[in-house]
Structure 1
Amino acid sequence: MPRQADHDARRRQIAEAVWRLAARGGLEDVTLRQVAAEAGVSARLLQYYFGTRDRLLLGALEILNADAEARAAERLAGLGEAAGTRALVRGVLLEMLPLDEERRNRQVVYAAYFVRFLVEPALAAVAGAATPALEELVTGLIVRAQHTGEARGDLDAAGEAAYLLAGAEGLQSGVLLGQRDADRAVALIDRQLDRIFTATT
């Protein structure tokens, strides 16, 4: 009987095929047959792992989200234990920008999912859960910084977190479309962080 690791690897193989198709031309007309061909597996095997087209899109999105969270955690851990709260908030926001091929590819796939988010409740639920979780994380970091004196105490932490994340999301689109370069986007984020944080630790 195949090991769980083999099942996980096969699911990833299929999910990566969905991502490639999404990045090349969106998800509107993607079929199970196209995904199977892209993944190099039979349609029967694809259905064994995911069942319907909707479950396939949902499963591929969940794997993409798990990858994004794991990679973000790695990068934040790489800042070191001495990293200040500003650096942690900055790290979260920079995950939202296409600063390298990995992040750019992931964000293009998310963009391909966007229309599906608007019309498919199951996908919308997955997307909708991400924003509150990020807002709670950034809010908590800002509150912590206020308590330690790293951030201005007169600010509405939740409002600032929402504003920072919305700004990073808008900058993401601008960089993907070539409306501004990545260095300018990072500089704009740093400018907002300078407004919130009283120290650069």
Structure 2
Amino acid sequence: MPRLADHEQRRRQIAEAVWRIASARGLEDVSLRKVAAEAGVSLRLVQYYFGTRDDLLLGALEILNADAGESIRAELGPEEDAAPREVLRAMLVGMLPVGDERRTRYLVHLAYFVRSLSDPGLASAFSAAPPELERLTADLLAWGRDRGEVAPDLELMPEAELLLSSVDGLQTSIILGQRTPEAAVALIDHQLDRLFSLANVAT
């Protein structure tokens, strides 16, 4: 019986093959046989770990989302001596598709999104995902409010949703070459300057 660590490592190996195919050619080109060849494993092994093609797509998406969460937590780093604005900025900048790993992750998410428009199973996986980022962003704004750095009457969740929607747009503009990463970071700073200066306006 394979150990759990070996099991998870093999699942990740196969999921990463899905991501490589999806980021380069879209989910339509993902098949069990092509994923097996890309991962360097047998077709039977892919079926053993994931079952059907639909199960494979959903399983690879779950692993990708878990990776994204871990990546965001790593971007935040240790909280000792950190300020709310610095932590929030690190999170938002870390979401931009800069560098091979982040770019691939974004392209894979985009491929899944396009597929979900015509795939009810993937659509429900997207809609069922908890709004963890919205809650985390609102919590960071609340932390700033508690420290007197954000206006006391700021509506936290709408502002959190607007911030994340802005980053969504910045991601696309970077991928399309419409905006440089530096310009995107400058816009994030502009938004944060506005939010973290409202306390002075309110007093």
Q: Aligned residues: percent identity?
A: 57
1:118 is aligned to 2:117: yes
Structure 2 counterpart of 1:86: 85
Contact kept in structure 1, 2:75 and 2:91, CA below 8 Å: no
**Partner-residue secondary structure (3-state), 2:41:** coil
The code of the aligned residue for 2:77 comes to A
User: Partners of 1:95 and 1:126 in 2: how far apart?
Assistant: 24
Structure 2 counterpart of 1:13: 13
TM-superposed CA distance for 1:130, in Å, is 4.5
1:45 is aligned to 2:45: yes
The code of the aligned residue for 1:23 comes to S
TM-superposed CA distance for 1:129, in Å, is 4.5
Structure 2 counterpart of 1:146: 145
1:180 is aligned to 2:179: yes
**Which TM-score applies when normalising by structure 2?**
0.91
Structure 1 counterpart of 2:163: 164
User: Partners of 1:97 and 1:57 in 2: how far apart?
Assistant: 24
User: Partners of 1:149 and 1:75 in 2: how far apart?
Assistant: 24
User: Partners of 2:166 and 2:130 in 1: how far apart?
Assistant: 13
User: Partners of 1:122 and 1:140 in 2: how far apart?
Assistant: 31
The code of the aligned residue for 1:70 comes to E
**Which TM-score applies when normalising by structure 1?**
0.92
Contact kept in structure 1, 2:116 and 2:122, CA below 8 Å: yes
**Partner-residue secondary structure (3-state), 2:35:** helix
Deviations 1:123-180 (A, max 9, x none): 2333334462211111121122112201122321111111100000000000011011
Question: Which structure is higher in RCO with an 8 Å CA cutoff and minimum separation 6?
Answer: 1
**Structure 1: runs of 5 or more not aligned:** none
